[in-house]
Amino acid sequence: MAADSPSASHAIVIRGVSKSFGAVTALEGIDLSIRKGEFFSLLGPSGSGKTTLMRIIAGFEQPDKGSLMIDGEEMAGVPPHLRPVNMMFQSYALFPHLTVAGNIAFGLRQQRLGRPAIEARTAEMLKLVQLEALAGRKPHQLSGGQRQRVALARALARGPKVLLLDEPLGALDKRLRQETQAELKRIQLSTGTTFVVVTHDQEEAMALSDRMAIMMDGKIIQVDAPGTVYDRPANRQVAAFVGDLNQFPARVEAGPDGVLLASAKGIPGKIAIAGSAVPQTEECWLVLRPEHMRLAALADGSADHWMACRVEDRAHLGAQVAYRLCLPDGRIVLAQAPAQAPEASQMAGAAILVGFRAADARVLR
Amino acid sequence: MRMPQRGPDRGRIAIIGLPSLWLTVFFLVPFVIILRMSLSDPASAQPPYRPLLDWSQGWAGIRLFIEGLDLENYATILTDPLYASAFLTSVRIAATGTLLTLLAGYPIALAMARASRRWQPFLIALIFLPFWTSFLIRVYAWIAILEQDGLLNQVLLAAGLVSAPLMLLNTEIAVQIGIVYTYLPFMVLPIYAALEKQDGSLVEAAQDLGSTPARAFWQVTLPLSLPGVLGGCILVFIPVMGEFIIPDLLGGSDMLMVGRLVWTEFFSNRDWPMASTIAVMLLAILALPIVIGQRRAGVGSMKP
């Protein structure tokens, strides 16, 4: 992306932003560029600083250090009401004394547009979120999902350069969540707005985002597409945060022909690791995703390394069966197998082999 | 089927019954006595009004009693301009006083609601602190502050802000100062309660949508606090309408308000029926707008 000049192709450019609240460091040396039209997620556990970063972009907090540019303009000293961003609040923050249409028109009225222009834009927004029939209702007369759509329409009405969404699906039940994910994606594509979502829900972030930033303890650990974060996590914490993980303490040494060999506790033999940046001397971990584990009665060619184990527990998830397996040393290994596969019929207590391919194993710090 | 219902029924009777009993004993019965007195005529006797109900004559006595009642006092009040002007003065002073108390109280309530959580109980305690001293003593203290060579004039003269002492005591200004001072807590607390429960993200949302902080206040904070404002205004306006002590001590002899009128009729003129009539009229004037207001509010909240 050498052609990217920050002002031309980026909606948000953050350089060296730090923020403390008293003795607590909320953000430390944040560098982040978000491209125009991108669906971007800030993903992290609570307390990771993602909400503070969003509030700095919206202008509700001032960074102690560093700079923030939105659409090529420096934002230092620009108050929230003059920034070309709008925010969808986690609580939705709908104005209880205004109707649905009044809420959506609120931001337009601040721009002192003429009445016809306001009404036209409000109608357009109502149509976008399919709430035309409820324009006259007050927020307390709406369901949770309807409120969420009003909040979205209100935040989009002014045509912001960037839309900030704070845990947009957090207050919805599971079924509504999936519908709304698709809806958000549709609206983001049709308006071409840059969406920045703050969430602690990795499934939500993976499903929605073009790219995501993983935040932990006030720092950005990794910025990548969801698939890359999942397959090539920057460290063990990121790997564990974006999905289930089997972890084995390991050591790495140089083998013949420049191949790296890992020896992991509880795994027989040495595992040949595809190019890894982990220094050989350092304490590290061999990690494996449950879906990369193979189950078999006899060792065969489907895996490079096999371990004896006992089925502790199994859960039928529909298309997949999830296993909890117990190794002889007491370590628990998670595995998944397609429900139709013959090895998926193992019952609790059964003795079986669990294996993996060396190519699926990662060595992380 | 009847047995399980008895428990809840008894509970319901107690819940509705106890307040009803209270209101009957302490409001309805005294009101009926006052109403009956307002329909009577004054008399130089003990008690100082007629007719009296003579039970010994049976039905004839009751008929004589009812025939003795009339609306003469109401006719006097409605025709004698003295009473009308006293009522108008009371309405004017109460309305002005309520407005001034609102203007003084709203910023206090807003500052309290925006103060950090840790300080709020302390600030509420400060609002209540004056109640630890007798109301009468506090109003007397204002005489010492407002009189010709009082504290305020001394300060103003010393600071060179005025060349001659201001005439404050025995004016309407002094009465309004007394009203604002006395009734401020009753205005601050309902407004504070309304502001305190407001979701702070609403103001942020308004600013995010392009409102300056000032416009966010006018468009979001203020409209959402109106129930508290209304409550505070009712709590101030009603007692000020019947206020007697403040105009009597700070307002001088020519300030005729309803409260003083009742006092004069009752104690100076010994005209209990006329005093009762004024009291009934005052109640009617105060109750009507509240009943209408409540009806409106009730209908409004039910409408989709």
The kind and range of the H/E element at A294 are strand A294-296
The tally of domains found in chain B comes to 1
Q: Do B224 and A106 count as a contact with CB atoms less than 8 A apart?
A: no
Q: pLDDT by residue (tens digit) across B94-105? A: 999 999 999 999
What is the residue whose two structure tokens read 């409102």?
B211
Q: Is A150 on the interface with B (CB under 8 A)?
A: no
- How many CA atoms lie less than 13 Å away from B161 in the CB half-sphere? 7
Q: What is the pLDDT along chain B (304 residues), one digit of tens a residue?
A: 444 555 567 888 888 889 999 999 999 999 999 999 999 998 888 888 888 888 888 888 888 888 888 999 999 999 999 899 999 999 999 999 999 999 999 999 999 999 999 999 999 999 989 888 999 999 999 999 999 888 999 999 999 888 888 888 999 999 999 999 999 999 999 999 999 999 999 999 999 999 999 999 999 999 999 999 999 999 999 999 989 899 989 988 788 889 989 999 999 999 999 999 999 999 998 888 778 877 776 544 443 3
A158 contact residues in B (CB cutoff 8 A): 209-210
Q: Among all residues of chain B, which has the CA nearest to that of A57? A: B208
Nearest Cα to Cα of residue A93 among A138, A151, A25, A15: A151
**Residue A163 to residues A151, B4, B202, B209: CA-CA distances in angstroms?**
12, 58, 17, 12
Closest by alpha carbon to A62, among A107, A93, A32, A21?
A21
pLDDT in tens, A309-359: 999 988 888 888 899 999 988 889 999 988 877 776 777 888 889 999 988
Query: Mutate which of B202, B208, B218 to test chain A, going by most A C-beta atoms within 10 A?
Result: B208
- Please provide residue A357's backbone torsions phi and psi, each rounded to the nearest 5 degrees: -90, 140
The greatest distance separating any two alpha carbons of chain A, rounded to the nearest whole angstrom, comes to 77
What residues of chain A lie within 8 A of the CB of B215, using their CB? 110
- Per-residue pLDDT at A2 exceeds 70: no
pLDDT one-digit tens code per residue, A63-112: 999 999 999 999 999 999 999 999 999 999 999 999 999 999 999 999 98
Structure tokens at A41: 């997620």
DSSP string, chain B: -HHHHHHHHHHHHHHHHHHHHHHIIIIIHHHHHHHHHHTSEE-SSSSSEE----GGGTHHHHHHHHHH--SHHHHHHHH-HHHHHHHHHHHHHHHHHHHHHHHHHHHHHHHHHHS-TTTHHHHHHHHHGGGGS-HHHHHHHHHHHHSTTSHHHHHHHHTTS-SS----TTSHHHHHHHHHHHHHHHHHHHHHHHHHTS-HHHHHHHHHTT--HHHHIIIIIHHHHHHHHHHHHHHHHHHHHT--HHHHHHS-TT---HHHHHHIIIIIS--HHHHHHHHHHHHHHHHHHHHHHHHHHHHHHH--
Q: Would you tell me which residues 72-111 of chain A have a C-beta closer than 8 angstroms to some C-beta of chain B?
A: 79-81, 85-87, 89, 91, 93-97, 106-107, 110-111
- Does residue B131 lie in a domain region? yes
Domain A6-239 of CATH type 3.20.20.70? no
Q: Give the CATH number of the domain where residue B128 resides.
A: 1.10.3720.10
B173 reaches A (C-beta below 8 A): no
List the domain boundaries for chain A: 6-239, 244-364
Q: Could you check whether A6-239 and A244-364 share the same CATH topology?
A: no
A58, B199: Cβ pair inside 8 Å?
A: no
Residue position matching structure tokens 């919805």: A172
* B209: containing domain: 81-302
Which chain A residues are within 8 Å of B200, Cβ to Cβ? none
Segment A50-67 shows an average pLDDT of 96
Topology, domain A244-364: OB fold (Dihydrolipoamide Acetyltransferase, E2P) (2.40.50)
Please indicate whether, in this complex, the C-beta atoms of B204 and A60 are within 8 angstroms of each other.
yes
Provide the percentage of residues in chain A whose pLDDT is more than 70.
96
Say whether A106 and B208 touch across the interface (CB within 8 A). no
Contacts (Cβ under 8 Å, ≥6 apart) of A104: A122, A125, A126, A150, A153, A154, A157
Q: What is the pLDDT of residue A3?
A: 43
* Cβ neighbour number for residue B83 with a 10 Å cutoff: 20
Alpha helix positions (H), chain A: 6-9, 50-58, 100-110, 115-128, 144-156, 174-191, 202-208, 226-231, 236-241
Asked if ipTM goes beyond 0.90, one says no
Is residue B70 included in any domain, yes or no? no
Question: For A8-39, what is each residue's pLDDT tens digit?
Answer: 789 999 999 999 999 999 999 999 999 999 99
Interface probe, candidates B197, B202, B207, B209, chain A, greatest A C-beta count within 10 A = B209
Q: Is residue B298 part of a domain?
A: yes
Query: A85-88 and A246-254: which strand pairing?
Result: unpaired
Tell me if chain B has a CB within 8 Å of the CB of A60.
yes
